[in-house]
Amino acid sequence: MNYNKLYYFYIITQSRNLYEAADRLCVSQPALSKTIRDLEDEFHVTLFEHAGRSLKLTAAGEVLRRECSGIFGKEPLLISHMKEAASSETVTLRFGYMLFKELFYLVPAIRHFNSVSHTAKVLSTPYMERADLNQDLLSRRIDIALKIFTQEEILPELDYRIIEETHLALVTKADHPLAGRSSVNLSDLKYEKFIFLGTDERSSEYRFARNWCIQCGFEPDILLSFDWIGAVLMMVQSGLGISILSDLAPLRQMTGLALIPLENAPTVYSALFWRADDNRKALYDFLDFYTHNDIIVRQ
């Protein structure tokens, strides 16, 4: 049985006019006439009688119309059920994040969201480098990014919600001679040994700190550099050198360190980023949860 021919027959029965049915189906009138002849030959019955320009169903045609109505008349309900099912599907959100102190709030927050959400599940991936995080977000390999940034680094393709605002600062060992000062000018550090975040100029963190030192009149003496911020803090903790970071670094999770404000330091932020053209409800459910949930208490 050809269901396409049955559908054509069903549409003809609604208007009882070949021309109107042909217009609705976007086919020619002769093609519809042939469809009716094919059905009549297949079933060995007459389906329509002509009444002027209109068509009148025969008894056999009425039986077929009722059967077709049961098949095709439920189309709106079928579409509604499919849309309902699609809207209830769980969306997977790919979350990329940089390694800084927000990690200590991120893990329990994602775990709790996944346990209570009926719209989305979040899968997270850590990133060492901000440029890699940006690229994957722009290329849609991830859906949301949690990162540190400055206002000069905002990309027009992305939208964001700021979580925290702070300034770059000097990080030293707790017993360093500078540790007791209320603030320090970066130019006073030109004879110090530095531990940098980021291993070379390809790292935005490394490049930003080095360029700021150069703007303040000196080339920093970089003793060591690491992609992992924990390694930077441990080297500072051991007394090998100082570093330029912010209190977005996980300083409170380590002992023996001091954070000293730097004069005229650039402002840095932590924020959630996503593509501005991504309007999925599941994404905004997670953004609202993460930025407004009382379970996350940042101190």
pLDDT value at position 155?
Answer: 84
pLDDT value at position 242?
Answer: 95
Domain boundary among 60, 84, 108: 84
Q: Report the alpha-carbon distance of residue 128 to residue 131 in Å, rounded.
A: 9
Residue-wise pLDDT for 174-220, tens only, equals: 999 999 899 999 999 999 999 998 888 777 788 888 999 999 999 99
pLDDT value at position 1?
Answer: 67
Q: Taking residues 224-248, report their average pLDDT.
A: 90
* Same domain, yes or no: 200 and 263: yes
Residue-wise pLDDT for 7-52, tens only, equals: 889 888 988 888 888 888 888 989 889 999 999 999 999 999 887 7
* Same domain, yes or no: 69 and 138: no
pLDDT value at position 273?
Answer: 94
* Same domain, yes or no: 95 and 191: yes
Mean pLDDT check: name the lowest of 169-173, 238-242, 246-250, 284-288: 246-250
* Same domain, yes or no: 95 and 20: no
* Same domain, yes or no: 218 and 233: yes
Flag whether pLDDT at 294 surpasses 60. no
pLDDT value at position 290?
Answer: 87
Residue-wise pLDDT for 120-152, tens only, equals: 899 999 887 788 888 999 999 999 999 888 777
* Same domain, yes or no: 26 and 134: no
Domain boundary among 65, 84, 103: 84
Q: Taking residues 229-251, report their average pLDDT.
A: 89
Q: Report the alpha-carbon distance of residue 173 to residue 237 in Å, rounded.
A: 5
Share of residues in the chain with pLDDT > 70 (%): 94
Domain boundary among 84, 110, 145: 84
pLDDT value at position 297?
Answer: 44
Q: How many domains does the chain have?
A: 2
* Same domain, yes or no: 119 and 257: yes
pLDDT value at position 229?
Answer: 84
pLDDT value at position 71?
Answer: 81
Token output for 63: 């039986």
CA angle 262, 264, 265 (to 5 degrees): 60
Flag whether pLDDT at 299 surpasses 50. no
3-state SS assignment for residue 160: strand
What CATH code is carried by the domain that includes residue 14? 1.10.10.10
* Same domain, yes or no: 156 and 283: yes
Higher pLDDT, 100 or 246: 246
pTM of the predicted model over 0.85: no
* Same domain, yes or no: 58 and 11: yes
* Same domain, yes or no: 62 and 115: no
CA dihedral 37, 42, 44, 50 (to 10 degrees): -20
3-state SS assignment for residue 128: coil
* Same domain, yes or no: 266 and 289: yes
Confidence of residue 293 (pLDDT cuts 50, 70, 90): low
Domain residue limits at 46? 3-84
What CATH code is carried by the domain that includes residue 296? 3.40.190.290
* Same domain, yes or no: 152 and 250: yes
Q: Closest Cα to residue 252, out of 145, 100, 111?
A: 100
Q: Closest Cα to residue 47, out of 35, 59, 61?
A: 61
pLDDT value at position 123?
Answer: 92
CB 111 within 8 A of CB 139: no
pLDDT value at position 86?
Answer: 62
pLDDT value at position 202?
Answer: 76
